[in-house]
Structure 1
Amino acid sequence: MIRLGVIILAGGRSTRMGADKAQVKVDGVRLVDRVVAGLADDIPYVVVSPYDLGIPTVSEDPPFGGPVAGIATGAAALDTELKAVLSVDAPDSPALLDSLKGALESSSSDVAVVQAADGFLQPLCALWTASGLDAALDALSDPRDKSAKKLLLAAGSRVEVAGDGREVDYDTFAELGQLGKVEL
C-alpha cells in the first residue's frame, strides 16, 4: 500500500470568493494547479470538485455537500495509509506535509493538524491515518453539510503542528493579491 495520498478540496459554490476558486489564477497559475505542483511526484492525489477542471476529479453525490462530504469522497478514492486534506484556498499548504507527517508518525494520534499563528486550527491542512479518518467520518454518520471543524473534533486524538504562514487560506481576490497578480 502507498504510504501517503492527498485529498485536494477544490471548492464548491465558492460563495466567499465569488468565482470557482480552483480556476482563479495567481501569476498565471490556477490555484488547483499550484497545490498539485507543490506535491512530490510520487504522491497520489485526488481533486474533489463538482466542476470540470481539465484534470481528473471526483465529486460527492449529490454535489455541493460541503467539505466533509468532499473529504469522504476523496478518502474513498485513495488507498493509502495516510490521507492529507488540503484546499485550493491555501495554495502553499503542500509545503507543510513533511511537518505534518513527522508529527503524526512520532505520535499515536489519528490526525496531525496545522495551528495558525492566531491559534486557529486548520482542518483543511491536516494529515490523517486512514483508520482515524474512517472512524471520524463514521462518528459523524452523514458527512453532508458538516464542517471540517466537526470532523476534526470527531478525531480520537490529534497532534498540533505550528504553522509557518503557508497554511494561510485566502477567501477573496484582495487576499489572494498578497501572493501575486490575480485573474479569473
Structure 2
Amino acid sequence: MDVIIVAGGRGKRMGGVDKAAVTVNGERLIDHLLDEVSVLDALQQVVVVSGRNLEVRPGVKVTAEDPPFSGPVAGILAGMEELREAAAERTAVLAVDAPESATLIPELNEALDESGADVAVIREEGGHLQPLCAVWHTESLWLALNELGDAANKPAKALVGAAGSVTELAGTGEERDYDTLEELAALGEYELPEQ
C-alpha cells in the first residue's frame, strides 16, 4: 500500500500557517502522522503533498500540486503522479490536520476486502463523509481522477462521488481533523511555525 498525505492547504482558519509544521506537545503534525503511517503493514511508498518548503524524514517523498493551493483533488493527483512508477495495489489518502487518522487504515483495508468496492471511506460520527481518510484500489483512484477531469479546486468528496462503488465505515473520532486554533488546543499545547 502507498500513502498520500495531503498537506497543501492554506491553513486560513489557523491564520495562514503551514498546518504540517504546527507542533502539538512538541511534535509537528506531519511527524505525528508519519509515525502512525510508518507502522502500517505492507507499506510501500509515502508521499506528502505540500507547496511549502516542508522537511520530512528520509524515505518520504514530497511533491506539490500545480498550481499550489489548488485543492485536495489536485493534491491527490500530484501524489498519484509521484507514486506512479512503482505504485502499490492500494493507495490510502490522509490529511495532515487529522494526525490520528492513520490508525483507521487497517479497518478501511478490511472493509475494502469484504466489500469489493473501489474505495473504503470513513463517515464521521456527525454524519459527514471524510474523503481524506480513505483507502482506494489504486486503479480505481486513477479512474475516478480521470472521470473528474480538471482536478483544480475540486473538493475531495467529488472524487469519492466519481468512484464506481463506495463502502463506508463508521468513524471512531480518530478521523477528526483540526482546522482552528481552538480545536488544536483540544489536542494539547500547540506552537505555530514562523511565517
Q: Under TM normalisation by the shorter chain, which class is it?
A: over 0.9
**Structure 1 residues without counterparts, runs of 5 or longer:** none
2:84 is aligned with 1:87: no
Q: For residues 79-118 of structure 1, what are the alpha-carbon distances to aligned partners after superposition, in whole Å with 9 as ceiling and x for unaligned?
A: 1110111001111000000000000011110000001111
2:144 is aligned with 1:136: yes
- Pick the aligned partner of 1:67 from 59, 66, 72: 72
Q: What do you get for the CA RMSD once the two structures are aligned?
A: 1.1
Q: Identical aligned pairs, as a percentage?
A: 50
Give the AA of the match of 1:52.
N
Q: How far apart are 1:5 and its partner, in Å?
A: 0.8
1:23-42 → structure 2 map (5 Å cutoff): 23-41=21-39
Q: For residues 20-73 of structure 1, what are the alpha-carbon distances to aligned partners after superposition, in whole Å with 9 as ceiling and x for unaligned?
A: 111111001111111101013562210000011112410012211110000011
Q: How far apart are 1:12 and its partner, in Å?
A: 2.2
2:160 is aligned with 1:120: no
3-state SS of the aligned residue for 1:90? Answer: coil
Q: How far apart are 1:148 and its partner, in Å?
A: 0.3
Question: Higher helix share goes to which structure?
Answer: 2
> What is the rounded CA distance, in whole Å, between the counterparts of 2:98 and 2:130 in structure 1?
10
> What is the rounded CA distance, in whole Å, between the counterparts of 1:57 and 1:16 in structure 2?
24
What does residue 53 of structure 1 align with? Answer: 54
Q: Is the 8 A contact 2:93 2:133 kept in 1?
A: yes
Q: Is the 8 A contact 2:4 2:91 kept in 1?
A: yes
Give the AA of the match of 1:103.
A
> What is the rounded CA distance, in whole Å, between the counterparts of 1:174 and 1:12 in structure 2?
18
> What is the rounded CA distance, in whole Å, between the counterparts of 2:101 and 2:172 in structure 1?
10
3-state SS of the aligned residue for 2:37? Answer: coil
Runs of 4+ in 1 over 4 A off after TM superposition: none
3-state SS of the aligned residue for 1:177? Answer: helix
> What is the rounded CA distance, in whole Å, between the counterparts of 1:40 and 1:13 in structure 2?
26
Tell me the TM-score normalised to structure 1 length: 0.95
3-state SS of the aligned residue for 1:39? Answer: helix
Tell me the TM-score normalised to structure 2 length: 0.89
Q: Is the 8 A contact 2:8 2:64 kept in 1?
A: no
Q: For residues 125-151 of structure 1, what are the alpha-carbon distances to aligned partners after superposition, in whole Å with 9 as ceiling and x for unaligned?
A: 001111110111011111011000111
- Pick the aligned partner of 2:20 from 19, 22, 26: 22
